Chain A
Amino acid sequence: MSGPMSAGDGFQGLELRHLSRRVGSHTLVDQLSLTVAPGEILALLGPSGCGKSSTLRLIAGLDPASSGEIQLGGRNITALPPAERQVAMVFQSYALFPHLSVERNLSLGMELRGMGRAEIQRDLNQVLALMELEGLRQRKPAELSGGQRQRVALARALIRRPALFLLDEPMSNLDAQLRDNLRAELRTLLRSTGVPVVYVTHDQHEAMGLADRIAVLREGRLQQLGTAERLYRDPANRFVARFLGSPTINLIERGTTQLGLRPEVLELTDAGSPVPHGWEALEGQLSHREWLGDRVISHVQCAEQGTLRVLSREAPTSSALQVRWRQADALRFDARSGERLPGSNTPHTD
């Protein structure tokens, strides 16, 4: 796997070692080990209930770990209270203090920590300018738009000069258009802090667009950790393969194995065409098409295999079709466990 893996005791980033959290008989986080280098953005990706938010809360110190260790900057912070961890967290709801102005939302923590007035003003001006919030200093959170609230929440985290940045679905309260626009901006901002960033999301586009590496979680266990490209092209198991990619991967039963076929590796030709050497094919009927402008998603009904999604540039002309693919392009999974089987397509290097 790529990334800085040789995390000795002098490692300056964040390192989780066999971190677990159990509540009663539930295991929310199970033996999670990973590292995040300074300046790196790691996305924790998974469906709801996969343990990504629990992991974030463990790192922040809001919940106690059942076992395992959290290291930050070479220091064991597993047992430290949140205040002493020097972490900043942006909550999904932003958790702005509703009774305080933007300015006071940012400065309250510093005031209570006994920082000097001049110093507070300097930091405040700097961060407000950076986040383009100067005009909103005296506003209450209720008087801000969703995007502005998010900027205030980010500003409140930035002003602490944290050693670690944690974000819990910070985009989920914004509309889709704004989310697309903010992704690059947020990435630049987070990279500029130079500290490790852990970003929790259930949205694969967000994870792919923002993060340097993605950790896919399922039921508290790490499924795979790597770059977006690696996860997409070389998934460790069926879960990862299905979670990444849109439209989702096609799965075809082959006895005890399952073939995973990305919609873009499938080709459409007229039914009954001869199948070239090294290719496989299924015959089917076109059920409907989704026109995306530059591409078309064709839904092809194949007898025993259900509907296959095929991504192509040109819309198919007839309704009786042959779907075919290069055998080397198919991913192979164990039908029962979902584990990736060797001997399928040659792993790409990245």
Chain B
Amino acid sequence: MARLMLLLWSLGPMLWQLYSSLRSSEALSGLGAGGWTFENYRQLLQGDPPFLTYLINSVVVGASSTALTLALAVPCAYALSRLGRRQARALTALVAAAAAFPAVLLFLALLELARDWHLANQLLALSLPYAGLCLPLAILLLQAAFADIPIELEEAALIEGMGLWQRLRWILLPLMAPAMASSALLVFLFSWNEYPIALTWLSRTELLTLAPAMARIAGSSVYTIPYGAFAAATVLGSAPLILLMLLFQRQIISGLTQGAIKG
């Protein structure tokens, strides 16, 4: 019973969106008796530019932000977890402070950066602020995961003659898979949902990511609210995320049970 409630609670709104997206606008506004329709989707996908462009843009930005964040966070976290206790504690406090810093305050500075460095309307350039904002949290997460790996495993690899890169590649990173998956997911989610930076850095329509693109749909007309189109956009926008969750979920769970090995 509790599970059913939980399912309803989390899936209900999504199903409602799905339902809305498949109804004609007449049916939604209660004016006519229009039935089921794919019209909302057709409109979106055949728009100019087609909605798919936004999806692809978001995937590109999400993937590059995630890759950049992990590429920087893994070495940082490794170094922090292998430093002497006192130094590591000081640096970790610094990273935590960065993670707790209200990102909103950086907004104007980022805008100036974009102007001075000509980063506006460059899709991949968005991963710079995204990675920057996600880095502290990713470092903290990964550092905890590194610290959880018994040091003897790395020492055994060291005695086997493995170099730093080989130890990371063959021993540490495979054991870090769950932590890396969850950090990656967090970064991807952040960049997928991020609105203000994307809105101000991107102005050309064909470069928009999902969040600003959807805002344009919602604000496309003052007189009618395109409920159906908006719902369809929501469904299309969240589908990749759900897919990603399902894919990563298995890895996270298998990784968690793997961590139970001791001695």
Contacts and interface: CB of A to CB of B under 8 A. Distances in A.
A232 interface: no
Contacts of B263: 93-94, 146, 149, 173
Nearest to B260: A142
Nearest to B167: A112
B242 interface: no
Contacts, number: 70
Nearest to B175: A99
Contacts of A178: none
Given A97-B153, A112-B170, A160 B261 contact: no
Nearest to A153: B156
A99 B174 contact: yes
Q: Which of B153, B159, B175 has most A Cβ within 10 Å? A: B159
A60 B156 CA distance: 10
B207 interface: no
A112 B152 contact: no
How would you classify the secondary structure of chain B's contact residues: helix, strand, loop or mixed? helix
Given A97-B171, A98-B261, A99-B174, A112 B161 contact: yes
Given A93-B263, A112-B170, A160 B160 contact: yes
B154 to A, nearest CB: 9
B166 interface: yes
A112 B160 CA distance: 9
B43 interface: no
A349 to B, nearest CB: 40
Interface of B: 150, 152-153, 155-163, 166, 170-171, 174-175, 258, 260-263
Interface of A: 60-62, 81-84, 87-89, 91-95, 97-99, 108-109, 112-113, 141-142, 146, 149, 156, 160, 173
28 contacts: A60-B155, A60-B159, A62-B158, A81-B158, A82-B155, A82-B159, A82-B161, A83-B158, A83-B159, A84-B161, A89-B155, A91-B155, A91-B156, A93-B152, A95-B150, A95-B152, A95-B156, A97-B153, A97-B156, A98-B153, A98-B258, A108-B160, A109-B160, A112-B161, A141-B261, A142-B258, A146-B263, A149-B263
Given A82-B159, A83-B163, A142-B261, 4 more contacts: A61-B159, A95-B155, A97-B171, A109-B162
